[in-house]
Structure 1
Amino acid sequence: MLGLKAGQNPGLFLNAFSQTLPQSAEFEYGIYGYTPKSVIDSRIIVKSNCASVIPFLEQMSLDAFAVNKDVAIHSKIYFKDQLLGHIPMIDLNGAVEDTDLRNIKEIFKDFNVSGGSLFSSGRSYHIYGHNLIEANRFTEYLGRLLLLNDTEKNVIDIRWIGHRLIAGYCSLRLTKNSPYYLAQPAFIKSF
């Protein structure tokens, strides 16, 4: 759907995703420093017009790198200062199996999400849905993701779900500026 090639950064996904949104829609980003096992999620939040994704991310990445911070995309999409919806995002807990992707596809189907893109993040994997979910279904979406976990396996990172419920938006890292992270997220495949 989005024409990404293996190894490409999520910024290129966002650039393609922006083509599906109204011209003056805005992405929301966060600049943050990660502290393992912390309850506090302190970040600077900025918005940018969807039409200027690549130059904006390049500048943000440089600014964040200078202060040893990372850049994340938030799920919130705004249009005329109103919340339009959320980009479906998932932070997986380790390796992803075909069964996991099938279950995620079922959840996406229930939220009218046409498909997703899988990215390696170094230690685990991230998924971005290909179209927005309604803002009023955000909590339900996170609850459904959490129910993918069972006594045998945690498919979804449960601490990520906790942070996202508290914050009111999903968030996935776009850069690798701090030494904690192993790699910059890289595209694997769409489904």
Structure 2
Amino acid sequence: MLRVEDHPYWHVRSVIAANQSMIKSVELSYYTYVALSVFDDRQVFSMSPAHFLDLDIIEGIFRLCPREMEVAMHSKLVTMSGDILHIPMIDMSTGSAAQLHKLEPIIGQKFFDFTWYKSGRSYHGYGKTLINERTWCAFMGELLLANQIGRPPTVDPRWIGHRLISGYSALRWSRNTQQYLDFPRKLF
């Protein structure tokens, strides 16, 4: 599954590789989805960029994932100086690829800096340029404002709420439970 280059690991891997000298740690987690819960049941773990770039180690993380849990990539990267940077991430609330372009007027040129993945029922986006915490918070606010009053949400507002509470974005990389239809696969 990870050996196929349409999985988001390869996009994030290229971002980490390009910034490896300044990154101290990369975060992932095992998590359990609980519908309509405020709680975010996660087992968070970090690793060095070198370990993240080792495909055998990442595949081991997938093999060791506990039953009824999923593997998620976190946006949060700790730098060598102790600062926090984020990989911009988006969890769409729509199953229609045509809806992706509704984000363009809200996030502008940043929209074209994203690689998009079909995640089963919706889409996930991953940026290429690392951002600091202040910019990450503003970006999450922009995503929330992309949802128009009286219309179905474009970006998943509950995902934004969970992510703001946690202080990092996270997107699913596995398909271990019945909640999800497929592994995320590259769209464009």
Under a length normalisation based on structure 1, what TM-score does the superposition of the two structures give? 0.85
Change (3 A) 1:85 1:179: same
**Alpha-carbon distance in structure 2 between the residues aligned to 1:122 and 1:185:** 7
Change (3 A) 1:161 1:56: same
1:56 aligns with 2:60: no
Change (3 A) 1:177 1:24: farther
**What's the offset of the Cα at 1:107?**
6.2
1:120 maps to which of 118, 121, 124: 118
Q: Report if aligned partners of 2:107, 2:142 keep a CA contact under 8 Å in 1.
A: no
Quick one: which amino acid aligns to residue 90 of structure 2?
I
Change (3 A) 1:104 1:90: farther
**What's the offset of the Cα at 1:7?**
6.9
Show the counterpart of 2:69.
69
Q: Report if aligned partners of 2:91, 2:124 keep a CA contact under 8 Å in 1.
A: yes
Work out the percentage of aligned pairs sharing the same amino acid. Answer: 31
Q: Report if aligned partners of 1:76, 1:83 keep a CA contact under 8 Å in 2.
A: no
Matched position secondary structure for 1:23: helix
Quick one: which amino acid aligns to residue 119 of structure 2?
S
Matched position secondary structure for 2:164: helix
**What's the offset of the Cα at 1:31?**
0.7
Show the counterpart of 2:173.
174
Quick one: which amino acid aligns to residue 91 of structure 1?
D
**What's the offset of the Cα at 1:101?**
4.7
Greater CA drift, 123-132 or 133-142: 133-142
**Alpha-carbon distance in structure 1 between the residues aligned to 2:51 and 2:97:** 32
**Alpha-carbon distance in structure 2 between the residues aligned to 1:107 and 1:144:** 13
Matched position secondary structure for 1:28: strand
Change (3 A) 1:164 1:116: same
Show the counterpart of 2:8.
10
Structure 1 gap ranges (5+)? 1-5
CA offsets per residue over residues 163-187 of structure 1, 9 Å max, x none?
A: 0111111000011111211001011
RMSD: 2.1
Quick one: which amino acid aligns to residue 146 of structure 1?
L
1:142 aligns with 2:144: no
Q: Report if aligned partners of 2:92, 2:122 keep a CA contact under 8 Å in 1.
A: yes
Change (3 A) 1:55 1:23: farther
Show the counterpart of 1:187.
186
Greater CA drift, 127-136 or 80-89: 80-89
Quick one: which amino acid aligns to residue 179 of structure 1?
Q
1:99 maps to which of 101, 104, 119: 101
**Alpha-carbon distance in structure 2 between the residues aligned to 1:83 and 1:174:** 25
**What's the offset of the Cα at 1:119?**
0.2
**What's the offset of the Cα at 1:81?**
6.5
Greater CA drift, 76-85 or 55-64: 76-85
Greater CA drift, 157-166 or 54-63: 54-63
Q: Report if aligned partners of 2:120, 2:184 keep a CA contact under 8 Å in 1.
A: yes
> What is the total number of aligned residue pairs between the two structures?
179
Q: Report if aligned partners of 2:26, 2:77 keep a CA contact under 8 Å in 1.
A: yes
Matched position secondary structure for 2:21: coil
Show the counterpart of 1:3.
none
**What's the offset of the Cα at 1:67?**
2.4
